[in-house]
Amino acid sequence: MGDYSTVSGSAATSKLLFRQLFEKDSSTYTYLLADVNHPQKPALLVDPVDKTVDRDLSLVKELGLTLIYAINTHVHADHVTGTGIIKNKVPGVKSVISKASSSKADIFVEHGDKIHFGNLFLEVRATPGHTVGCVTYVTGDGHDQPQPRMAFTGDAVLIRGCGRTDFQGGSSLQLYNSVHSQIFTLPKETFIYPAHDYKGFTVSTVGEELLFNPRLTKDEVTFNNIMENLNLPYPKMIDIAVPANMVCGLQDLTKRSSEPLAS
Ligand SMILES: N[C@@H](CCC(=O)N[C@@H](CSS)C(=O)NCC(=O)O)C(=O)O
Ligand SMILES: [Fe+2]
C-alpha cells in the first residue's frame, strides 16, 4: 500500500494528507484528503456514509483540517450518503456529485472538471456503466501533485472486480468502455481506491487490475456474459438509499439519532 499519510509535491507547494476510512455494514470506503501545506488545510471527503459521519468529522477536527467538500462518486444503492448530514453539521461545506447523476447537490461536476483543495486538485473522469452518473476522481497530474496518482473509482473498478450493472441505468458495455478508456489508460502505478471491498483488500493499482481483474481483463463479449450472470441479490438498503441519495442524503436530522459534533 502506498504511504500517503503525507506526501509532498516536488515543489513543496502542496502536501497531501490521506486517510482511508471504512464503514463495515456496507463495506464502504470513505477517503479524506487535505492539503496540509496550505494555511487553512482545506480538506474533502469522498463517499462519506451517514453512519460514520461523526467519526469522520472528529478526525477532521483532530487533524485541524477545514472541510470544504463532501463528494460522491455516484448515487449509492447500498447506504445513505453522509453528505446531507455533514452539510447540516459543518456550515460552509459544499456537496458535490456529477451532473449526469441527476441528484441534488451544491456543485455538479462534469468530465474534465477540476476540484481544487489548497494547491491540490482532483480531476473528474466520467465513468458511467455501474450507474449513469458514475465518475472517478483522480489526483492531479502536475509537478506539485502527488505521484503516483490515485484514482477514486467508486464502484466502476473494485479490486479484482467491478460494480454490478443491473440497476440505476447500468450498462455492462458502457462500464467496460469507461474503465478501459478512462481508468486503465492511467499510468500503471496509479493507485486504485474503490468505494467498496468485500474481501478485505484496501488498494490496488492500474497495472495490477490490468493483469489480474477477473472480469475487466476479458474481451467485451465475455465481460457482458459475466455481468449478466452475476445473480447478485439487490442491496438490502436500495429502496431507502437511492431516494435519499437523490437528494444528497438525509436532510432532516431529527429523523436520526446523531450527536452534534463536539466543540
Ligand atoms: N450485499 C450488499 C450489496 C452488494 C452489492 O451489490 N454491491 C455493489 C456495490 S454497492 S451499489 C456491487 O456492484 N457489487 C459488485 C459485486 O460483484 O459484488 C448489500 O446488500 O448492501
Ligand atoms: Fe454503487
5-18: per-residue pLDDT in tens?
555 554 469 999 99
Can you give the pLDDT at residue 68?
98
Can you give the pLDDT at residue 26?
98
Lowest mean pLDDT, pick from 37-51, 106-120, 248-262: 248-262
Closest CA to 52 of 83, 75, 76: 83
Interacting residues of 189 by C-beta distance below 8 A, sequence separation 6+: 148, 205, 206, 207
Can you give the pLDDT at residue 253?
54
Can you give the pLDDT at residue 258?
39
Q: How many angstroms separate the CA atoms of 245 and 44, rounded? A: 18
Tell me: pLDDT of 27 over 60: yes
Query: Which class would CATH give 6-233?
Result: alpha beta
Report the Cα–Cα distance between both ends of the chain, in Å, rounded: 34
Closest CA to 33 of 56, 51, 1, 52: 56
Q: How many angstroms separate the CA atoms of 30 and 46, rounded? A: 6
Per-residue pLDDT averaged across 92-116, rounded? 97
Tell me: pLDDT of 262 over 90: no
Residues 179-220: tens digit of each pLDDT: 999 999 999 999 999 999 999 999 999 999 999 999 999 999
**155 alpha carbon – ligand 2 mean position (Å):** 5
pLDDT band for 119, please (50, 70, 90 cuts): very high
Tell me: pLDDT of 171 over 70: yes
Interacting residues of 179 by C-beta distance below 8 A, sequence separation 6+: 127, 129, 156, 157, 162, 216
pLDDT band for 82, please (50, 70, 90 cuts): very high
Can you give the pLDDT at residue 249?
86
Can you give the pLDDT at residue 250?
73
Tell me: pLDDT of 100 over 70: yes
Can you give the pLDDT at residue 37?
97
Residues with Cβ within 6 A of ligand 1? 26, 77-78, 155, 161, 163-164, 196, 230, 232, 235-237
DSSP, residue by residue, 83-124: HHHHHHHSTT-EEEEEGGGT---SEEE-TT-EEEETTEEEEE
Task: Tell me whether 0.95 is exceeded by the ipTM.
Answer: yes
Report the amino acid identity of residue 52.
T
Q: How many angstroms separate the CA atoms of 29 and 195, rounded? A: 5
**131 alpha carbon – ligand 2 mean position (Å):** 7
Hey, what's the cell of 150? 490515485
Closest CA to 165 of 126, 203, 128, 210: 128
Can you give the pLDDT at residue 12?
65
29 to 72, 111, 195, 263: CA distances (angstroms):
12, 23, 5, 26
Higher pLDDT, 180 or 257: 180
SS3 content of the chain, % helix, strand, coil (to 5): 25, 30, 50
| This prediction's pTM | 0.93
Greatest CA separation found in the chain? 55
Contact 9, 15 (CB under 8 A): yes
Q: What is the torsional sign of CA 197, 202, 203, 208?
A: negative
Ligand number with the minimum distance to the CA of 153: 2
pLDDT band for 98, please (50, 70, 90 cuts): very high
Closest CA to 242 of 92, 20, 72, 93: 72
Hey, what's the cell of 41? 488545510
The whole-chain average pLDDT of the chain stands at 93
Residues, the chain? 263
Can you give the pLDDT at residue 143?
87
Can you give the pLDDT at residue 114?
98
Hey, what's the cell of 250? 438525509
Higher pLDDT, 248 or 25: 25
Ligand 1, atom 6, lies closest to the CA of 235
Tell me: pLDDT of 36 over 80: yes
Pocket test for ligand 1, best of 26, 72, 78, 101 (most atoms within 8 A of CB): 78
